[in-house]
Structure 1
Amino acid sequence: MYIISLTYKTSLDNVERFIPEHNDFLDKYYRSGNFITSGRKEPRTGGIILADVDSKVEVEQIIKEDPFYSNQIADYDIIEFIPSKYNEHFKFFIKNS
């Protein structure tokens, strides 16, 4: 599992221009089962995506499809996350080692 932290590097007006395309990108990976949740940071300096993928290389490939990436809207920080405790409702997303 990976936490993808986006940090905007342009104005919010410019970010807003690419929100529809970014949402299409997100929808693609929700449909594939790779994205678990996503949303904006507060204050609005970027966003967070929680992704269920097998490797950091796969995350990097997915990110390259994001219009925020291709239009240089955001920087990305990728953090591998191995859940050790979780709410029972979240158990569905936990892979046994």
Structure 2
Amino acid sequence: MNQNLPNSSDPHPQGTEFSRRPTDEHVSPGVFVVVLTYTSPLTQVDDLLDAHRSWLDRQYAEGRFLASGPQVPRTGGLILARAESREAVLAVLGTDPFACAGVASYEVVEFAPTRGPLAAALRGGA
């Protein structure tokens, strides 16, 4: 479910159902993978790259993003984010200069890290 931002106001595009987090007040933030796909020529993307990187730096400073980088080959990028909800991730993505200029689309996938050396850290544990 690719979404062009910031025009996407529907948190459940195309009638897709998303699992709801329990309403327990102790639920830690979710972990999300954002797949960013360029929808414009690289020359247009490159014109916005400095602004996009500054935006990324702000998200890291706020603790929203855990990792990011370009796809290989360079057709977009990936962002590993932590947030209370998918809607919160979409709101942040809507402020990306790439989104504001319409040069990228975004797919947001929530996942529950349960195995591997980084799982506890990604969940906000030890």
What's the TM-score, normalizing by structure 2? 0.71
Question: CA–CA distance in 2 between the matches of 1:61 and 1:15?
Answer: 21
Deviating beyond 2 angstroms after TM superposition, the runs of 4 or more aligned structure 1 residues are 90-93
Q: What runs of 5+ residues in structure 2 fail to find an aligned partner?
A: 1-30
Question: CA–CA distance in 1 between the matches of 2:38 and 2:75?
Answer: 6
What's the TM-score, normalizing by structure 1? 0.92
Q: Which residue of 2 aligns with 1:18?
A: 48
Percent identity over the alignment?
A: 33
Q: Kindly report the root-mean-square deviation, in angstroms, between the aligned alpha carbons of the 2 structures.
A: 1.3
Q: Which residue of 1 aligns with 2:90?
A: 60
Q: Which residue of 1 aligns with 2:106?
A: 76
Aligned length: 95
Could you tell me which of 31, 35, 38 is aligned with 1:5?
35
Cα distance per residue 1:37-88 (max 9 Å; x no partner): 0000011100000001110010010001100000001000000011011215
Q: What runs of 5+ residues in structure 1 fail to find an aligned partner?
A: none
Q: Which residue of 1 aligns with 2:21?
A: none
Q: Which residue of 2 aligns with 1:91?
A: 120
